[in-house]
Amino acid sequence: MSEKRKRGDYTEEFKRDAVNSVVNQGYSSGDVNKHLDVPISNVTRWMQKHKMRSLNGVTRREIKTENRRLKKENKRLRMEREILKKAAAFFAKEWFP
C-alpha cells in the first residue's frame, strides 16, 4: 500500500525562493519541483499567483472592480452621445429648415 503524502506547509519565503528560481534564474517549474521535492502543481500555482501580483501590484479583484466601473461609465457616455446627436439634429432643423 502506498504511503499517503502529507500536505506540505510552505512559508512565504520558501514559495518566493521557488518562484525566484523560475523567474530570475531560468529554471523550469519541473526542475524546481524535483530539486525542492514539491509537487509541480504547487510550483505552477505559485507562479500563477506571482504573475497576477506582478500586474503592477494589482489584484484580480481590483481589475474586476475597475472593469465594472469602466463598463458603467462607458454605458453612460454612450447615452450622453445619443442625446447630443439628437439635440444637434433638432437644432440643425431649426436653424437650417
Q: How far apart are the C-alpha atoms of 56 and 26, rounded to whole Å? A: 22
Q: What secondary structure letter does DSSP report for 55?
A: T
Mean pLDDT of 54-60: 70
Predicted structure pTM score: 0.50
Give the pLDDT of residue 7. 62
Q: Which three cell numbers stand for residue 10?
A: 510552505
Mean pLDDT of the chain: 86
> 10 Å Cβ neighbour count for 34?
13
Give the pLDDT of residue 87. 93
Give the pLDDT of residue 5. 54
